[in-house]
A and B are shown apart, each in its own frame.
Chain A
């Protein structure tokens, strides 16, 4: 990237650098036409002509779609274009810090975490309604404004690069910590994938801990697809059981039993927020700016989560409400006979045992025996 390009990108005058990411550099730039300062996100284009053409086409589609999103919880995209080897997006410049930086200080207050998630969910719902799926919801893409409120950044374009690098197994490269299981599997994603990712973000905000950790990306990907999360209330006592349910539903591995749209998630988060603020859910102010709700892809009466979906892992935590220590103690310190009883598989019931323990066959056996004796006496005495 030449000095010239850094000083001027298309009609934008570069004022300084805001940050660097995997895709490119983000500049603070001035738009002389409208006399406003913008955030200019640049993306380095591929040298391969074929790849580049395809990328340019998709970039234009995604940028146009993102440009149509005008919502208080979505960073506004003003303009997009190309300059030499760079594609760029001119976006509204925000004063604040991103959630990733904020999370370095640990968990957020429960109410604040729910409030941020609610705002992001509303932004996502608005975008989903217009057919735009974010595909990379993560703390680094959530901006916390100085004046309060949260905005989500990088709609649609964030995963464009990484999707070009699919492995033979369909695995998407990059950190899969916030990806949904279907995204990791390389399958088609829809709004429910964003909901899963937002669920992971919410979990980390509530607990201050990584939900899906691992030594490397394949390990993390494995955990995302198989590991059942521990309820956040176990790590943060302030988390209510209601919030546990919201997180659990957002983090369902099967998209069919997850929240089907972000409005639904936002609605439940409002209830949680009301609970945290000590208000009745009925008092919760509804968003009157909301436009028509997305028609669900599936029937509103969804089937219950298939128990078989639980089966592959089968790992179930002990229920906190019930004290199981006595049984655990028994298992840990079982004597020889108790252990034998606890490990023995059932055997077929034998004749003698059946006669001794089962009333019906016993009656038949005793009657037959007595009648046989009486019959013999009659016959031979």
Chain B
């Protein structure tokens, strides 16, 4: 028997929505629902059972993931790959407040909350096989895995039926490698600038000739020291 849960929690919500679900025949709806359940079974397997709750929605499934926005994002992406198998799925991701309602057992319990409402609204704007995330989800991802949020790029803003405006983000897989290259280039530039500044300062104070002569002397001294060190090592190896 479980104790009633009354407090609100903050969680990542992945709304996996079957597109045009209502316009399909009941048998088609049943088939797609079964397909979606199979997809969710596979994708939720990598999440710890204590960190996720799966909810029924009229046109899809909602997965509430606790303290793991990366997990929610990965799950949504893996689920979307199911659209290759003919399931017209899209996903909405949000991070917000949720609350458990209902009795003390698993049966008859339900969840409510703005976290779910916004995920549903965001999913509404996602085209087939794509995901849309809210600003709150991006922030949560940034906090949990700094840098990963860069893969969620802005995709405009939209207002839902309740005239609530949502800033939308979509997943761009090329963004992370591009960001890595940018930081590598910046690092090289920083090294060049800082070393150049040091050299420039030295040259301006002591003159070019003195700097070059000093540099050559240091080079020679380092080379001689290096040679001595290597010879010493060779001797040690020979004696042993």
Contact = CB atoms under 8 A, between A and B. Distances in A.
Given A242-B26, A300-B23, A323 B106 contact: yes
A311 B120 contact: yes
A342 interface: yes
B165 interface: no
Give the top 8 A-B pairs by smallest Cβ distance, nearest first: A375-B198, A360-B183, A378-B198, A371-B194, A308-B161, A358-B147, A322-B54, A367-B187
A252 B22 contact: yes
Contacts of A370: 191
Interface of B: 2-5, 7-11, 15, 17-23, 25-27, 29-30, 33-34, 37, 40-41, 44, 48-59, 61-62, 64, 66-67, 92, 95, 100-101, 106, 108-114, 116-118, 120-121, 123-124, 136, 139-140, 142-147, 160-162, 179-180, 182-184, 186-188, 190-199, 201-202, 205
A344 B10 CA distance: 7
Contacts of B54: 318-319, 321-322, 324
Contact of A375 (B26, B114, B194): B194
Contacts, number: 260
Contact of A306 (B56, B101, B161, B179): B161
A307 B22 CA distance: 11
A379 B59 contact: no
Contact of B190 (A241, A242, A341, A367): A367
Contacts of A267: 25
A360 B148 CA distance: 11
Interface in A316-331: 316-331
A125 to B, nearest CB: 16
A297 interface: no
A276 interface: no
Interface stretch (A37-45, A95-103, A349-357): A349-357
A364 interface: yes
Given A249-B22, A314-B116, A375-B198, A307 B121 contact: yes
Nearest to A267: B25
A327 B2 CA distance: 11
A10 interface: no
A313 B21 CA distance: 19
A344 B66 CA distance: 11
B26 A371 contact: no
Interface string A208-235: 0000000000000000000010000000
Given A342-B10, A343-B9, A345-B10, A307 B30 contact: no
A18 interface: no
A38 B195 CA distance: 107
B146 A364 contact: no
A241 B7 CA distance: 33
Given A242-B30, A307-B15, A348-B143, 16 more contacts: A281-B27, A306-B124, A307-B124, A308-B120, A312-B162, A318-B109, A318-B110, A322-B44, A324-B54, A330-B50, A330-B66, A332-B3, A342-B66, A361-B183, A374-B194, A376-B198
B194 A372 contact: yes
B202 A379 contact: yes
A316 B23 contact: no
A333 interface: yes
Contacts of B33: 241, 245
Contact of B101 (A257, A315, A331, A363): A315
B82 to A, nearest CB: 16
A97 B166 CA distance: 55
A346 B136 contact: yes
Contact of A314 (B40, B67, B117, B143): B117
Nearest to A308: B161
A304 B17 contact: yes
Nearest to A339: B7
Contacts of B106: 318, 323-325, 328
B141 to A, nearest CB: 8
B217 to A, nearest CB: 13
Contacts of B48: 326
Contacts of B56: 316-320
A359 interface: yes
B190 A318 contact: no
A170 interface: no
Nearest to B52: A327
Contact of B111 (A245, A316, A357): A316
A74 interface: no
Contacts of B17: 304, 307
B120 A357 contact: no
B20 A364 contact: no
A345 B108 CA distance: 28
Nearest to A265: B26
Contacts of A320: 56
A200 interface: no
Nearest to A324: B53
A148 interface: no
